[in-house]
Amino acid sequence: MSLQGKVAIVTGSGAGLGLAYAQELAAQGASVVINDVDQTTADAAVASIEAAGGKAVAVVAPVGSTETAEKLVETAVDSFGGLDILVTNAGILRDKSLLKMSDEDFDAVINVHLKGTFTCVRAAYQHFKTEGVAGRIVCIGSPTGQRGNFGQTNYAAAKAGIIGMVRTWALEMKRAGVSVNAVIPVAATAMTKTVPYFQKAVEADEQGEPMPDFFRKGLGFGTAKDAAGVVAFLSSDAVDGITGQVIGAGGDRLQIWSHPESVVSEYHDGGWDYETLQSQGGELLRANLQSVGESMPELPPELEPTS
């Protein structure tokens, strides 16, 4: 199931996870449109793919607007003759707790992550439908969008929204033969580099050494390349008929995330009015509280961060 002859767009692919996705797609035979907001970064990404024998071009533009989305599709068609794969990875962070988060902080993250995913998928799907392409769309989510995380109201909203759109698009695109899935990567990135808990894992990655098993096996935390293989697989013909799924990728672990389902259903004759809820609702809810956020196991002494 080679990607030879396929054409892919990867947003936010100048560095980090996005670059790893683009490089893996190219290694499997796809021609790739790189996207970044910095020309030097984008050029370096293209050069890295070409040096490995692949084909790539760059579009330097911020993701979010319809203009950028259409330019990405046009560049794929003009440069490589078509479009088969879209990976929506572009994103920014503006982390602050709720009362410190400004409108600008919220809007900036929503525009790049959520609106940028929407506009790029819409433009790609329009091409797929017009040209009769059974395309592949991979949208990048986050554990934060699944579980929540302190200080990330904007990011959590965007990533949760992306998963909602993926499920909706799986329904809308099914007849066209387009597969749309989400990947939840857990990997060493610029963000995790700043978290002391992951210090030893990130240091090992930067030094080209294997990450400790505590991270790779216990936490499912790994390198960008670990997640890149999953993205490339979901971009291939092998996933025909697999759509609307949320796949976790990190370290030695692969996950299939469940879609939200009710855990308890209780019925009361005449409905649940205020008085009934006062007498029975609290007990029912407290007996079935669902967890929020991620809970991490205690680090072994040898993996404790150093100053």
3-state secondary structure of 286: helix
Whose structure tokens read 């080679």?
2
Task: Specify the length of the chain in residues.
Answer: 307
Name the residues annotated as catalytic.
Answer: 155
- What is the sign of the dihedral through the CA atoms of 241, 112, 202 and 296? negative
Q: DSSP per residue over 62-122, as a string?
A: -BTBHHHHHHHHHHHHHHHS---EEEE-------B-GGG--HHHHHHHIIIIIIHHHHHHH
What six digits make up the tokens of 90? 């572009």
Whether 112 and 64 have beta carbons less than 8 Å apart is answered as: yes
- Cβ contacts of residue 273 below 8 Å, gap of 6+? none
